[in-house]
């Protein structure tokens, strides 16, 4: 029955035509279709940024600038935090929220300040982020603020199934909020609790919105995607210090270029007792904790 009904050459031709059409469509879509923002050509990125600016203007009723400032050549950022000085006042947490347009409700905070007991040392098993005394520091306690450690060997980027998070040339681990599918593998992989998910629609009152943004940093995020500290990429790529560094009332936070032998960071590494969190995991953080006194 098969042989009488089948007309093989015709089918083959049709198959060929449909295959060719599919290949052409695939090619066109691959060339012009949506792609991860960091790999699209500059002119398309500019269009995408303009679209973002329009969207934010419509949403917040004010002009928002979305920059795409690239990494500065010869710069590898690093951060250092003086545990012997931090008093646990959380000024950094709230300055970070303001600078980086984190959702106020549901609450998203990139920095978590852990209160620990001096008797027990750096032990996450006894850490308390919810301390609320009238004044800080409290006797017998010290404070370890934790945010993204900007690892050189980041466990979070390798698990991402869509390649929506990666390390920039200046060492900042960033997320493409338009490409993230919200699977949260990176959150399971991060040993520092640095990645945060927008469980609900993020809300930022228009009045407190920071309108100077970077497309890989503090631009407003949609719900259902992951976000994290970017060392204030919108500031630091223009030579400024991150917001948490400037706000710290005790000067416990230090920032600079790891490749510059004269930088504050290099001075600290060379002169102070420095540690990294969970060193045994070989994440190789560029965020150092030190004891200046």
Partner 1 sequence: MRSALITLGIAAAASGLYFAAGRGEASAPATVQTAPAQAGAPAQPAPVPSAAPKADAPGQRVEVPPPPFSDGIFPCSECHAQLTPNRTRRVLTDMHQDIVLKHDEEHRWCLDCHDASDRDKLHLASGELVSFDESYRLCGQCHGEKYRDWRAGVHGRRSGQWNGHKSYLLCAHCHSPHQPHFQPIEPKPAPKRPTRAGR
Partner 2 sequence: MSTLWRFSRFVSGSIQIVRRGEPLYWGWICVLLALIVSGAMAYTNQLHRGLIVTSMRDQVSWGFYIGNFTFLVGVAAAAVVLVIPAYVYHWKPIREVAIFGELLAVSAILMCLLFVMADIGRPDRFWHLMPPLGYLNFPRSILAWDMIVLNLYFAVNFVVVTHILYRAFWKRAYSKRLVVPLVLLSIPMAIGIHTVTAFLYNGLSARPYWNSSILAPQFLASAFCAGPAILLFALQLLRKFTHFEIQDEALHKIAELMAYAMFLNLFLHGAEAFKEYYSATEHLLYTQYWFQGLDGHRTLVPFAWSAVTLNIVAFSLFITPATRRNWVTLNIGCLATYAGCYIEKGMGLIIPGLTPDTLGEIYEYAPSFNELRVAAGIFAIGFLVFTLMLKVAVPILLSEFTVDSAPDGEPSRARVPQTAAVH
Rounded CA gap, 226 and 245, in Å? 24
Residue 211 burial (CB < 10 Å; 0-12/13-18/19+)?
Answer: middle
**Which lies closer to partner 2 via its Cβ, residue 199 or residue 291?**
199
**Which lies closer to partner 2 via its Cβ, residue 137 or residue 224?**
224
CB of 72 to partner 2, least distance (A): 27
Phi-psi region of 61 (alpha: psi -120 to 50; beta: other; left: phi over 0): left
- What is the pairing mode between strands 226-227 and 165-167? unpaired
Largest CA distance in the chain: 93
Length of the chain: 293
Q: Does 141 bind partner 2 (CB under 8 A)?
A: no
Q: Which does 84 bind (CB under 5 to 8 A by kind): partner 1, partner 2, none?
A: partner 1
Q: Which does 88 bind (CB under 5 to 8 A by kind): partner 2, partner 1, none?
A: partner 1
Q: Does 69 bind partner 1 (CB under 8 A)?
A: no
Q: 235 to 254, contacts with partner 1 by CB under 8 A?
A: 236, 239-241, 245-246, 248-251, 253-254
Binding track over 25-64 against partner 2, x by CB under 8 A: -x--xx--xxxx----------------------------
Q: Does 33 bind partner 1 (CB under 8 A)?
A: no
* Residue 214, helix vs strand vs coil: strand
Q: Which does 225 bind (CB under 5 to 8 A by kind): partner 1, partner 2, none?
A: partner 2
274 neighbors 290 (Cβ within 8 angstroms) = yes
With CA atoms as reference, report the closest residue to 238 among 112, 123, 75: 75
With CA atoms as reference, report the closest residue to 142 among 166, 174, 119, 169: 119
Binding residues vs partner 1 (CB under 8 A):
72, 75, 83-84, 87-91, 93-94, 107, 109, 112, 118, 120-123, 129-137, 142, 236, 239-241, 245-246, 248-251, 253-257, 260-264, 267-268, 271-273, 275, 291-293
């Amino acid at each position: 029955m098969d042989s009488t009904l089948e007309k093989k050459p015709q089918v083959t031709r049709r198959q060929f035509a449909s295959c060719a059409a599919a290949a052409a469509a695939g090619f066109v879509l691959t060339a012009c279709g949506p792609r991860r923002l960091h790999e699209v050509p500059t002119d398309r990125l500019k269009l995408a940024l303009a679209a973002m600016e329009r969207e934010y203007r419509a949403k917040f009723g004010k002009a928002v600038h979305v920059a795409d400032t690239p990494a500065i050549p010869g710069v590898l950022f690093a951060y250092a935090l003086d545990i012997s000085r931090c008093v646990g006042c959380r000024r950094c947490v709230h300055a970070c929220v303001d600078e980086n347009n984190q959702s106020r409700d549901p609450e998203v905070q990139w920095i978590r300040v852990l209160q620990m007991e001096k008797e027990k040392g750096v032990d996450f098993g006894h850490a308390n982020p919810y301390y609320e005394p009238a004044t800080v520091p409290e006797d017998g306690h010290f404070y370890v603020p934790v945010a993204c450690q900007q690892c050189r060997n980041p466990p979070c980027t390798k698990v991402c199934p869509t390649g929506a998070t990666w390390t920039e040339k200046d060492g900042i681990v960033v997320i493409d909020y338009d490409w993230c599918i919200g699977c949260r593998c990176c959150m399971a992989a991060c040993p520092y609790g640095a990645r945060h998910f927008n469980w609900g629609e993020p809300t930022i009152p228009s009045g407190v919105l920071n309108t100077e943004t970077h497309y890989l940093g503090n631009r407003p995020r949609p719900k259902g995607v992951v976000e994290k500290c970017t060392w204030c990429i919108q500031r630091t790529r223009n030579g400024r210090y991150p917001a948490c560094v400037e706000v710290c009332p005790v000067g416990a936070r230090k920032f600079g270029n790891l490749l510059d032998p004269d930088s504050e960071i290099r001075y600290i590494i060379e002169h102070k007792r420095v540690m990294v969190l969970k060193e045994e995991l070989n994440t190789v953080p560029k965020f150092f904790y030190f004891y200046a006194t």
